[in-house]
């Protein structure tokens, strides 16, 4: 069994046209997602999304790499120490 890590992925959606690509990646890694929360910030025309995951490090890296390659998204990840 592979060791997993808990991580929080923060996503800033600056271009709503990229949401289809964003959702495709999240769906692809859906079995690792603990939960997600989205906050639309209409005054600034952006959305803030947090995604909690429990996955092996290489899976988290692959997921965030794919998300980071989607134009219109900014992605940062924080990992648990356990």
Token couple for 70 = 């989607």
Number of domains, the chain: 1
**CATH number of the domain bearing residue 12:** 3.30.70.1150
pLDDT tens over the chain, length 82 residues: 579 999 999 999 999 999 999 999 999 999 999 999 999 999 999 999 999 999 999 999 999 999 999 999 999 999 998 7
Token couple for 39 = 């906050």
Cβ(26)–Cβ(75) below 8 Å? no
Exposure b/e, 4-35, CB count within 10 A at least 16 = b: eeebebebebeeeeebebbeebbeebeebbee
Largest CA distance in the chain: 46
Q: Which domain covers residue 44, as residue numbers?
A: 5-79
């Amino acid at each position: 069994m592979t060791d997993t890590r808990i991580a929080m992925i923060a996503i800033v959606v600056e271009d709503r046209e990229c949401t289809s690509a964003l959702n495709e990646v999240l769906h692809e890694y859906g079995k690792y997602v603990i939960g997600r929360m989205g906050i639309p910030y209409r005054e600034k025309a952006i959305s803030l999304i947090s995604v909690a995951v429990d996955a092996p490090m290489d899976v988290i890296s692959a997921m965030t790499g794919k998300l980071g390659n989607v134009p219109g998204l900014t992605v940062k990840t924080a990992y648990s120490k356990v």
